[in-house]
Structure 1
Amino acid sequence: MRWGILGAAHFARTQMGPAIHAAKGAELVALATSSAEKAEGFQSFAPGLRVHRDYDALLADPGVDAVYIPLPNHLHVDWTVKALEAGKHVLCEKPIALQAAQIDRIIAARDASGKMAAEAFMIVHHPQFVRARELVRGGAIGRLRHVEVVFTYNNPDRANIRNKPETGGGGLPDIGVYAFGAARFVTGAEPVAVTHARVDYEGGVDVFAQVAADFGDFTYGAVVSTRMQPAQSILFHGDTGLVRLTSPFNANVYDMAELVLETEAGKRTHERWPAANHYVLQVEAFGAAAQGADYACPLEFSRGTQAMMDMVFAAAGNR
Structure 2
Amino acid sequence: MKWGILGAAKIARTGLAPAMQVARETELVALATRDPTRAAPFEALVPGLRVHSSYEALLDDPEIEAVYIPLPNHLHLDWSIRAAETGKHVLCEKPIALDARDFDALISTRDTTGKLITEAFMVAHHPQWVLVRDLLAEGVIGPLEHVEGVFTYTNRDRVNIRHSAEMGGGGLRDVGVYPCITTRLATGAEPERLRADIRWQNGVDSFARVWADFPAFTLSFYCGMMQARRQHMLFHGQDGWIALSAPFSGVVYGDCRVEWQQNGDTRSRSFNTANQYALMLENFARSARDNTPFPCPLEFSRGNQAMIDAIFASADP
Q: Same fold (TM over 0.5)?
A: yes
Aligned twin of 2:101: 101
Structure 1: how far apart are the matches of 2:156 and 2:48? 38
Using the size of structure 2 for normalisation, the TM-score is 0.98
Aligned twin of 1:282: 280
Query: Is there any run of 5+ residues in structure 2 with no aligned partner, and where?
Result: none
Report the Cα offset of residue 248 of structure 1.
Answer: 0.6
Amino acid at match of 2:283: A
Structure 1: how far apart are the matches of 2:262 and 2:49? 51
Aligned twin of 1:155: 155
Amino acid at match of 2:119: E
Aligned twin of 1:67: 67
Using the size of structure 1 for normalisation, the TM-score is 0.97
Structure 2 counterpart SS, 1:252: helix
Deviations 1:141-189 (A, max 9, x none): 1101111111111212211111111111100011111121110000000
Report the Cα offset of residue 317 of structure 1.
Answer: 4.1
Structure 2: how far apart are the matches of 1:48 and 1:137? 48
Report the Cα offset of residue 255 of structure 1.
Answer: 3.4
Structure 1: how far apart are the matches of 2:251 and 2:32? 30
Structure 1: how far apart are the matches of 2:172 and 2:312? 9
Structure 1: how far apart are the matches of 2:251 and 2:259? 16
Structure 1: how far apart are the matches of 2:208 and 2:254? 23
Aligned twin of 2:240: 241
CA contact (8 A) 1:246 1:255 kept: no
Query: Is there any run of 5+ residues in structure 1 with no aligned partner, and where?
Result: none
Structure 2 counterpart SS, 1:253: helix
The 5-angstrom pairing of residues 1-319 of structure 1 reads: 1-194=1-194, 196-264=195-263, 266-291=264-289, 292-318=291-317
Report the Cα offset of residue 57 of structure 1.
Answer: 0.7
Structure 1: how far apart are the matches of 2:152 and 2:183? 16
Structure 2: how far apart are the matches of 1:178 and 1:95? 11
Structure 1 counterpart SS, 2:252: coil
Structure 1: how far apart are the matches of 2:7 and 2:60? 15
CA contact (8 A) 2:254 2:272 kept: no
Structure 2: how far apart are the matches of 1:200 and 1:214? 22
CA contact (8 A) 1:90 1:118 kept: yes
Structure 2: how far apart are the matches of 1:70 and 1:269? 38
Report the Cα offset of residue 207 of structure 1.
Answer: 0.6
